[in-house]
Amino acid sequence: MKEEILRLLRSADGYISGQELCNRFGVSRTAVWKAINQLKEAGYEIEAQQNKGYRLMAAPDLMTEAEIKSLMHTDWVAKEVLYFDTIDSTNTKAQELAEKGYQSGTLVVADKQESGKGRRGRSWVSPSGTGIFMTLMIKPDINPNNASMLTLVAALAVAKAITSVTGEEAMIKWPNDIVVNGKKVCGILTEMNAQFDYINHIVVGIGINVHNESFPEEISQMASSLMIEAGGKRFHRAQIIADTMSYFEQYYDTFLKTQDLSALVREYDELLVNRNKSVRVLDPKEPFDGKAMGITPKGELIVDTWESRKLVSSGEVSVRGIYGYV
């Protein structure tokens, strides 16, 4: 009931009477009063006026189930939200939940990760109170060969959500990083559990630097946070989560129709920070330089070299700008 009351307070133009809440949920005024008090104790500023009712004045920067659900407007994504103050890894937890039979679309969120994972086995710095650490678990009926494209679907969703909430132009560094002003603010790690021709589940892990004030020296030239890039402005993390899930559902449903990115290529290319730029493809077999032109409907990066056009699959390949990160 708490998240529903919160949702109603958010959507109301003014006050909502206690009696209206009683009637809607079929509970007593005492039950409503208790729920309102629980929200106040959690940090919500709720004004109570006799003969008028309740009004939400301000909300804290929380990522609890109630807060996230009160902002969510999806059909199936993130209908189940599990929040943890501290966790080893949201990807690991989401995989455990999938094996326990949790439904597709379950979202795991944490304020801090003890063992955050990045692409190619790297660790992900995850201090509390600064970022968004979340993993969406899905059980798609698609060919396992097409699963890697979901990283690009997620990247498009995150970039759109960051721009909508912050007003900053978020771009995509193929295949799994989001950058603002040329600095990395988000990484995405997609992991799959599958048989030869059948997917059991996929987890899409997303880590966003929101309120970080500084970074270790070794990554300070390439990493940043939304707050730093927005000149010190703070953002509502749960709103970024809700918007990301909304965009993901939209783009994922489009992807499912063809099991490729054909309907999303144009939109993705518009946000591709590497596009029409010189890049270095760090292929373990044979690194090469070229010019990034965009992506194919299969999510491959199109790179024109001096001798030919090459299609680069994500896998174990990294792409860098010739003179730096992008």
- Annotated binding site for biotin, which residues? 89-91, 113, 184
Which amino acids are annotated as binding site, given as ranges?
A: 89-91, 113, 184
DSSP 322: T
SS3 316: coil
Beta carbons of 191 and 95 less than 8 angstroms apart = yes
Nearest to 73 by CA among 229, 246, 274: 246
CA dihedral 212, 217, 220, 226 (to 10 degrees): 0
At residue 271, φ and ψ (nearest 5 deg) are -105, 5
The span from the CA of 118 to the CA of 147, in Å, is: 18
The residue among 59, 113, 102, 105 whose CA lies nearest residue 235 is 59
Residues 6+ apart with CB under 8 A from 217: none
Q: Give the dihedral sign, CA 285/312/121/178.
A: positive
Long-range contacts (CB closer than 8 Å, 24 or more residues apart) made by 121-130:
124/187, 124/189, 124/207, 125/215, 125/216, 126/207, 127/212, 128/85, 128/86, 129/211, 130/209, 130/210, 130/211, 130/212, 130/213, 130/225
Give the E-state strand segments of 148-220 in sequence order: 170-173, 177-180, 183-194, 199-209
Measured between alpha carbons, how far is 2 from 150 in angstroms, rounded to an integer? 33
Q: For residues 205 and 309, is the Cβ–Cβ distance under 8 A?
A: no
